[in-house]
Amino acid sequence: QKEVEQDPGPLSVPEGAIVSLNCTYSNSAFQYFMWYRQYSRKGPELLMYTYSSGNKEDGRFTAQVDKSSKYISLFIRDSQPSDSATYLCAMSRMNTGFQKLVFGTGTRLLVSP
Amino acid sequence: NAGVMQNPRHLVRRRGQEARLRCSPMKGHSHVYWYRQLPEEGLKFMVYLQKENIIDESGMPKERFSAEFPKEGPSILRIQQVVRGDSAAYFCASSNYRDRGHEQYFGPGTRLTVT
């Protein structure tokens, strides 16, 4: 079983829709939860991160973490065609040293005009 | 805006040759991470380096792969005697200091093709 599970999609939505992207994980030691956006043939771009449980909002993006369910979500409001990309969740443990990121396989999102 | 830089962007090698991938971290960042992305798979951690030190290489294959981050110059990921299974996208990320290691910023990647 993978440490982080993510539905590969593709997820197709019309422009303006609210998008929900999700990951589940198995390791309760994860404390930091990140969302990256990756356009085709490009490097991942850090969108936002959350420490422990709770919500975090940044513009049209909201990240939620439910540690009791080992479930994290990214919501995108008023989705735009430019949001079409692969969205990767990533997690890391609370170490005193460096933090190795463990990634999901990514969900491909397609927003049609 | 000097982000993480990687070169070359594309690299083609024949089986048995050596591949050298370079990474220059963001300005002010002294922590470098290498990840590999195989087709249809997520990014997998390979190695974490600080200047002149390998801190953790638990994700590196035991043979043929090595990494360095010298005092001067970019970080180098070296793959000796490449095989077809090494074909992948290799990404470098950097962070500014250890306690913010979860904020990793990625370069554009080097796509290695082994023929």
CA proximity to A42, closest of B113, B107, B1: B107
CB-closest option in A45, A97, A103 to B43 = A103
Indicate yes or no: CB of B91 within 8 angstroms of CB of A104. Answer: no
Which residues in chain A are contacts of B31 at CB distance < 8 A? Answer: 98
The predicted pLDDT at position A17 comes to 97
A49-78 CB burial, b ≥16 within 10 A, e <16: bbeeeeeeeeeebbbbbeeeebebbbbbee
A96 pLDDT higher than 60: no
Number of CB atoms found within 10 A of residue A12's CB: 12
Indicate yes or no: CB of A101 within 8 angstroms of CB of B104. Answer: yes
Which residues in chain A are contacts of B108 at CB distance < 8 A? Answer: 42-43
Contact criterion met (CB below 8 Å) for A111 and A80: yes
B42 pLDDT higher than 60: yes
- Closest approach of chain A CAs to the CA of B48, in angstroms? 8
Indicate yes or no: CB of B42 within 8 angstroms of CB of A43. Answer: no
CA distance B104 to B33: 8
Q: Could you tell me the pLDDT band of residue B13, with boundaries at 50, 70 and 90?
A: very high
The predicted pLDDT at position A94 comes to 66
CB-closest option in A8, A45, A46 to B103 = A46
The predicted pLDDT at position B83 comes to 96
CA distance B42 to A29: 20
Q: Could you tell me the pLDDT band of residue A53, with boundaries at 50, 70 and 90?
A: confident
Taking CA atoms, A13 is separated from A16, A41, A88, B114, in Å, by: 8, 22, 18, 37
The predicted pLDDT at position B101 comes to 64
Tokens standing for A76?
Answer: 């995108």
pLDDT tens-digit map of B81-93? 999 999 999 999 9
Please enumerate, as own/partner, the contacts of B64-68 that have beta carbons within 8 Å and a separation of 24 or more: B67/B34
